[in-house]
Amino acid sequence: MTDPAEAAGRRRQEATLNSDLVRRARDWQPQDPAPETRAELGALLEGGDEAALRERFGAKLEFGTAGLRGELGAGPNRMNRVTVMRAAAGLARVLGPGRHVVIGYDARYNSDVFARDTAAVLTGAGLRVSVLPGPLPTPVLAFAVRHLVADAGVMVTASHNPPRDNGYKVYWGDGSQIVPPVDREISDAIDAVGDVSGLPLGSPGDDAWTALGEEIVASYVDAVTALPIGDARDLRVAYTPLHGVGAVTLTGAFLAAGFEAPVIVDAQAAPDPEFPTVAFPNPEEPGAMDLALELGGRIGADIVLANDPDADRCAVGVPLPDGGHRMLTGDELGALLGEHVIRNTSGGERLVATTIVSSSLLGKIAAGYGVRHTETLTGFKWIMRAEGGDLVFGYEEALGYSVGTDTGLPVHDKDGIGAALTVAGLAARAKRDGRTLLDLLDDQARRYGLHATSQLSVRVDDLSLIAGAMARLRATPPAELGGRKVESADDLREGAGGLPPTDGLRYRLSGGARVVVRPSGTEPKLKCYLEVVVPVTGEVSEARARAAADLDALRADLSAALGL
């Protein structure tokens, strides 16, 4: 029985809080099926923590083209079971009864719980559901949607976000991430969902709920081992899944293709939602690759591979003569894989695609082979919808690649395992010829000019600073950056070049250089993508030094123009 004095004290405490926040929290609490988040809310109410309540109830996670992603916790502005059940109910309303949805999940906190809740809501609404057999890479889910001829897919993952985050990605029947207007239709349907405690729920024993077996993973492995890998197999590989779910599937794919099993960083081999050995589980972040590179040096690996935690991205390191390693940039690996796919596929309608913020080199490679090329907005949801031919390869500079064959792409999304397998075949062939991936990069620089890319990212606490910087650039476009004349300026907000409108600016500079400026869609950052092109007339190393200096000059001038 509750102590009357204690209850009175709690009421006095709540009276000092914002009454609207208290009402929202009190309305939310009874429908939450998770004891831990109900207790979290109770503690915040009793403790009178208005700031924490405002963080959770002053806004909500918005459902967009990437679905949902946010920190775990109670309330509509956090990832929790209520948020997930509302998302599933909204998806069910848009799809309608009888439709088939495939659900996958990674090994983050609550991923399996959120997957089960999604399946329960969808089957309760009359949809058919297939659930992957365990924590698996995102590309397996994207593959399964098309392989099983489903109407949609859901992947519970926060990719390479911090440990306290989780997310909810929705795929459509083509196996690609959703784009407008479907995202808005689902968002509107979510907003119309009431108290989730009244939703009808299915269970694993229902006829509409199918637990898939390992045969779906075997089918995925069959698909990626059919990629243009070549016939060379002598390769020693060091690998890290960064505490994610990639190790078992990647190892199985390597063995099925005839490679020796990669040597895995032991401390990072098993899935661990805490990501204990890295500050940030993203292979692009400083320090994330340290253990893998150390292992590569110790075992004499020919290449070092990494996936991010849901294995949809791939990073590659190559040993140097002095015993160190060099990580390839996303654009460098994109150019190598792109040319490899073009050389090893056939057909007159082949198309390769990348984004407006990635290097322009892929376009020059495609032109050299008489293959079609196009640029899209950032994100694989756009790359996979590239028009103008039969897409056989797509990539974005943030380590995302989809590799195809003459018959198309087995995965209509980023696929870190298929990319790893393909680059292993490329590296093995180079090794057989007495060369390395770095030699292949030098070959491209001599043929097409050295294309060097870099970024300038500015993180802010006040988002109005980003809006102000974009407004200044629009009002007064720079005439020169890094000693290069600005030859044209495109306001991407107007849908330049036939692209859908987006908040961004693109500058084309003399000498083939390019700058793209855009606000980040997921973080409080202004992101700037820089590229310079330097002809190679002597040693490639000399061209690389000139390019590095040119990028530094671009970065300095752009930073001054931004005024941040």
Beta bridge partners of 481: 484
CA dihedral of residues 62, 68, 70, 72 (deg, nearest 10): 110
Q: Which two tokens stand for residue 5?
A: 């004095």
pLDDT in tens, 441-456: 999 999 999 999 999 9
Say what the pLDDT of residue 20 is: 87
**Mean pLDDT rounded to a whole number for the chain:** 94
pLDDT in tens, 188-228: 999 999 999 999 999 998 999 999 999 999 999 999 999 99
Q: Are 429 and 504 contacting, i.e. CB atoms less than 8 angstroms apart?
A: no
Catalytic-labelled residue, pool 111, 130, 159, 359: 159
Higher pLDDT, 168 or 11: 168
pLDDT in tens, 545-560: 999 999 999 999 999 9
Say what the pLDDT of residue 499 is: 87
Tokens 């299915």 belong to residue: 202
Identify the CA nearest to 238 among candidates 258, 268, 274, 273. 268
Integer CA distances (angstroms), 427 to 277, 336, 412, 423, 540, in order: 28, 10, 24, 6, 20
Q: Which helix (H) or strand (E) holds 174?
A: none
Q: Which two tokens stand for residue 50?
A: 């208005």
Say what the pLDDT of residue 303 is: 98
* Whether the predicted pLDDT of 269 surpasses 80: yes
* AA letter at 26: R
* Local confidence band at 563 (pLDDT 50, 70, 90 cut-offs): confident
How would you label 303-332 residue by residue, b for 16+ Cβ within 10 Å and e otherwise?
bbbbbbbbbbbbbbbbbeeeeebebbbbbb
For the chain, what is the largest distance between any 2 Cα atoms, rounded to a whole number of angstroms?
86
Angle at 346 between CA 344 and CA 351, to 5 degrees: 95
- Going by C-beta distance under 8 Å and a sequence separation of 6 or more, which residues neighbour residue 504? 356, 492, 493, 516, 517, 518, 519
Say what the pLDDT of residue 347 is: 79
- Going by C-beta distance under 8 Å and a sequence separation of 6 or more, which residues neighbour residue 304? 237, 238, 239, 289, 292, 293, 295, 296, 316, 317, 318, 319, 325
* Whether the predicted pLDDT of 18 surpasses 80: no
Query: Three-state SS for 529?
Result: strand
Say what the pLDDT of residue 38 is: 95
Give helix 416-432 / helix 437-448 axis angle, nearest 10°.
90
Query: Three-state SS for 161?
Result: coil
Average pLDDT of span 276-288: 94
What distance in Å separates the CA atoms of residue 530 and residue 516, rounded to the nearest whole number? 7
Q: Which two tokens stand for residue 130?
A: 């297939």
What distance in Å separates the CA atoms of residue 135 and residue 304, rounded to the nearest whole number? 24
Say what the pLDDT of residue 460 is: 87
Say what the pLDDT of residue 48 is: 87
Identify whether 402 is a catalytic site residue. no
What distance in Å separates the CA atoms of residue 268 and residue 242, rounded to the nearest whole number? 5
The 10 Å Cβ neighbour count of residue 142 is 32
What distance in Å separates the CA atoms of residue 83 and residue 451, rounded to the nearest whole number? 44
Q: Are 374 and 384 contacting, i.e. CB atoms less than 8 angstroms apart?
A: no
Say what the pLDDT of residue 564 is: 78
Average pLDDT of span 426-447: 98
The 10 Å Cβ neighbour count of residue 358 is 28
Identify the CA nearest to 259 among candidates 225, 304, 293, 289. 225
Give every strand in the sheet of 514-519, ordered side by side.
450-459, 525-534, 514-519, 505-509, 484-491, 480-481
Identify the CA nearest to 208 among candidates 102, 136, 84. 102
Please, is 121 exposed, middle or buried when counting C-beta atoms within 10 Å of its C-beta (0-12, 13-18, 19+)? buried
* Whether the predicted pLDDT of 497 surpasses 90: no
Integer CA distances (angstroms), 219 to 115, 223, 311, 482, in order: 22, 6, 17, 50
pTM: 0.93
Out of 11-25, 97-111, 317-331, 389-403, which region has the weakest mean confidence (pLDDT)?
Answer: 11-25
What distance in Å separates the CA atoms of residue 402 and residue 355, rounded to the nearest whole number? 13
Tokens 């407004």 belong to residue: 471
Beta bridge partners of 102: 130, 153
* Whether the predicted pLDDT of 2 surpasses 60: no
Identify the CA nearest to 253 among candidates 334, 400, 140, 112. 140
* Whether the predicted pLDDT of 7 surpasses 90: no
Q: Are 42 and 29 contacting, i.e. CB atoms less than 8 angstroms apart?
A: yes
Say what the pLDDT of residue 523 is: 72
Average pLDDT of span 14-41: 87
* Local confidence band at 494 (pLDDT 50, 70, 90 cut-offs): confident
* Local confidence band at 35 (pLDDT 50, 70, 90 cut-offs): very high
Q: Which two tokens stand for residue 47?
A: 């403790």
Out of 83-92, 413-422, 514-523, which region has the weakest mean confidence (pLDDT)?
Answer: 514-523
For 321-389, strand residue ranges (E) read 325-327, 350-355, 372-376
What distance in Å separates the CA atoms of residue 354 and residue 450, rounded to the nearest whole number? 18
Q: Which two tokens stand for residue 58?
A: 């002053």
* Local confidence band at 5 (pLDDT 50, 70, 90 cut-offs): low
Say what the pLDDT of residue 6 is: 59
pLDDT in tens, 46-91: 988 999 999 999 999 999 877 999 999 999 999 999 999 999 999 9
pLDDT in tens, 87-100: 999 999 999 999 99
